[in-house]
């Protein structure tokens, strides 16, 4: 009976370890061009536009960047670990981003371009 319980416990520990390591490797990938450690997060474009409505909501780390008067902005919703965060960042005039696009955004460096995620 004791041997059977030890075997069952070993199987449970093995399965739990496999599940936990799978979750960790997805987020902690260092080989990825858009690594979590470098500030890249997957998000959804909530709105695209220009003017003070967007400029006033600019992300904290983007406020010190020089931005043209006619700058365009994208508001992106992403999920860090829990909850949801909305982040407004400048985008190039030639950007074709639109509402509901799946993107990767760098939450640490505003000078990095928001990239549309490949399907």
Task: Report whether 73 contacts 48 (CB < 8 A).
Answer: yes
Between the alpha carbon of residue 114 and those of residues 1, 10, 18, 50, 81, the distances in Å are 58, 45, 33, 16, 20
Q: Give the angle 6-24-19 at the CA atoms, nearest 5°.
A: 35
Who wins on pLDDT, 56 or 46?
A: 46
Is residue 9 very low, low, confident or very high in pLDDT (cuts 50, 70, 90)? low
0.85 cut: is pTM over it? no
Instruction: State both tokens at 61.
Output: 């780390």
Q: How far apart are CA 47 and CA 97, in angstroms?
A: 9
Residue spans of beta strands (DSSP E) within the chain:
40-50, 72-78, 85-91, 102-106, 115-116
Comparing 16-25, 64-73, 97-106, the range with the smallest average pLDDT is 16-25
- The pLDDT score that the predictor gives to residue 101 is 96
For 86-113, the pLDDT digits (tens) are: 999 999 888 999 999 999 999 999 889 9
What tens digit of pLDDT does each residue of 55-68 get? 888 888 888 877 66
Phi-psi region of 28 (alpha: psi -120 to 50; beta: other; left: phi over 0): alpha
């Amino acid at each position: 009976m004791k041997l059977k319980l030890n075997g069952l416990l070993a199987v449970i520990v093995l399965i739990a370890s496999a599940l936990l390591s799978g979750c960790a490797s997805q987020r902690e990938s260092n080989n990825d061009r858009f690594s979590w450690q470098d500030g890249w997060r997957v998000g959804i474009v909530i709105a695209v536009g220009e003017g003070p409505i967007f400029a006033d909501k600019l992300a904290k780390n983007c406020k010190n960047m020089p931005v043209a008067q006619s700058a365009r902005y994208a508001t992106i919703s992403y999920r860090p670990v829990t909850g949801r965060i909305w982040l407004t960042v400048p985008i190039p005039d030639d950007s074709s981003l639109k509402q509901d696009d799946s993107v990767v955004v760098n939450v640490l460096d505003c000078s990095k371009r928001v990239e549309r995620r490949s399907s």
